[in-house]
Structure 1
């Protein structure tokens, strides 16, 4: 390559980088983003704390909305600009006429896990899934709410193990803070729950975890959802009207991901998390640290297209929807 061509190539490359950066630059907009109690929306908690939103020309304002359905409602009511939901909620909203697009992943891993008390009669526990499911047959299973994704996914685990959902009694026990109490007081025999439930078992040593969907390899219907479990969504109209805003949101989230995934940043990351929320329970700080360390691998912003399709296929299999859904239109055109 001649010197002139080399210089030209360098200039073109620089212009390309500069142009891409410019596209990802906001214009001073304030963007209201859904947050959750607990460790919550860590991607944007980091982006806010570290100044990544301002770096990309926007102000990120976190607004606590405690559930995904309520987040979708707030988004459609324009109380917030970005909701943080499971793809199931996005799909159901779409079937009702809401045009939502997923910008990025807020949490890649499937959050659900199964916990039992230490004194549980579970002789097949050490043999893993599907063996331990027979130990739970006929037992009371705590779920976040009746008809919830937790209950539906437990039903999938049951079917793949040769059992039926009707072989179990499901009890609504709420979030981990209340589901843990229901388990320890023997109101239920096991919980289909989420973090910090596993961390509470690890730290308090009163229970144990039989199954973690986020690292499971079986069954494929559940393991296949890893990569798209929780996504940040905007309305398609808002994204089209101001495309520089979703691009700035993605750029800020990419910076936050890099910070979260750097091992040397964990102590600062823990301080950031504790600045937003603390577990009000015995040994809460230790539980928070264990839970956060366990969750770090999930905080990547790329959305797995096969995982998104698996989630839609699961909804069809469990009769949440009546027909197959094309998942391609669910994604923002520049979603990672």
Structure 2
């Protein structure tokens, strides 16, 4: 074959290949996924993008950073967000108020909260676990994110599960994990209901002790009943109906990412991916805390949404007068959710 003809063939092949590449890129469906700024719960989302699981399923997964699920729901109403993530209590309250939302799959399967007490309080009940250790909180101050929110309701349920009255303790608003831990360390409160990285900080610093870790199935039966589908991905019902293929592709990408994350040989790479987007700040023993935090987060992911969790949330929300009637699985869960 002459050089001229060979050049034409090579150019033609290259053009076809380039055209195929462009076609693949053009075929990728953009999916706007809600993320809480700086939150480590999104390791799985970062892996979906960085390791190509979204691209493999023909998706361009783009993060939209919003500080609350309420803001994400508002953005979804104007098509600024496609997929939202939060605990089911927030989502189900919105549905009860008339917002059409469908759960498409699980994120963190178990309750994310824990109750931790100062080392001084814990010393008075050394060797005791839940519910016996809760007796030490009678007359004490329990820090919660905000008065009247889910963490306070969980604290009250933990007290009730220990045969105590909710008014046996005092509740103080201390904000999220960083400010809550600081308040506990400064002895402004005696215990806090919060979430990661608080358990890892308690373990690394010995300044506090976890009394009940709901992510590990501890606590009363009513709170455990919400495990199996605690935090989920969901989207407006209209979006799910009109983009079923995209939703299914997202679920497949998520499942592959979870499998990759939970393979022990990938742990170091997971920590590298996480370290690029998540910073602990000034904490004692940062490497130990970070390692434990990453491991706990990986352990918390799941690929199956347990429908029984809906019943658990119904009971919890009805008991706290947060919804007007039970919400059925058929109403709030996508029929092809795993």
Question: Does the CA-based 8 Å contact 2:35-2:65 persist in structure 1?
Answer: yes
Paired position in structure 2 for 1:13: none
Against the structure 1 CA distance between its residues 305 and 220, is the aligned structure 2 distance closer, same or farther, given a 3 Å change threshold? same
Paired position in structure 2 for 1:53: 54
Paired position in structure 2 for 1:65: 66
1:215-294 alignment, distance < 5 Å: 215-282=216-283, 283-294=285-296
1:83-98 alignment, distance < 5 Å: 83-98=84-99
Question: Does the CA-based 8 Å contact 1:53-1:252 persist in structure 2?
Answer: yes
Partner SS for 1:46: helix
Paired position in structure 2 for 1:151: 152
Partner SS for 1:73: helix
Question: Does the CA-based 8 Å contact 2:177-2:195 persist in structure 1?
Answer: yes
Structure 1, unmatched stretches of 5+, are: 1-25
C-alpha distance in structure 1 between counterparts of 2:137 and 2:126, whole Å: 10
Partner SS for 1:232: strand
* TM-fit CA distance, 1:121: 5.6
Paired position in structure 1 for 2:304: 302
Paired position in structure 2 for 1:33: 33
* TM-fit CA distance, 1:27: 4.2
CA distances 1:182-224 after superposition (whole Å, capped 9, x unpaired): 0011110000111100111112222221110111344111112
C-alpha distance in structure 2 between counterparts of 1:87 and 1:322, whole Å: 16
Partner SS for 1:85: strand
Against the structure 1 CA distance between its residues 212 and 125, is the aligned structure 2 distance closer, same or farther, given a 3 Å change threshold? farther
Question: Does the CA-based 8 Å contact 1:279-1:285 persist in structure 2?
Answer: no
Paired position in structure 2 for 1:118: 119
Partner SS for 1:276: coil
C-alpha distance in structure 1 between counterparts of 2:241 and 2:156, whole Å: 39
Q: Does 2:189 correspond to 1:188?
A: yes
Moved over 6 A (4+): none
Q: Does 2:336 correspond to 1:334?
A: yes
C-alpha distance in structure 1 between counterparts of 2:194 and 2:61, whole Å: 30
**TM-score (normalised: structure 2):** 0.88
Question: Does the CA-based 8 Å contact 1:215-1:223 persist in structure 2?
Answer: no
C-alpha distance in structure 2 between counterparts of 1:154 and 1:140, whole Å: 11
Question: Does the CA-based 8 Å contact 1:137-1:168 persist in structure 2?
Answer: yes
Q: Does 2:199 correspond to 1:198?
A: yes
Q: Does 2:296 correspond to 1:317?
A: no
Which structure's CA Rg is the greater one?
A: 2
CA distances 1:75-96 after superposition (whole Å, capped 9, x unpaired): 2232211110111111111122
* Higher deviation after alignment, 130-139 or 72-81: 72-81
Structure 2, unmatched stretches of 5+, are: 1-25
Question: Does the CA-based 8 Å contact 2:122-2:209 persist in structure 1?
Answer: no
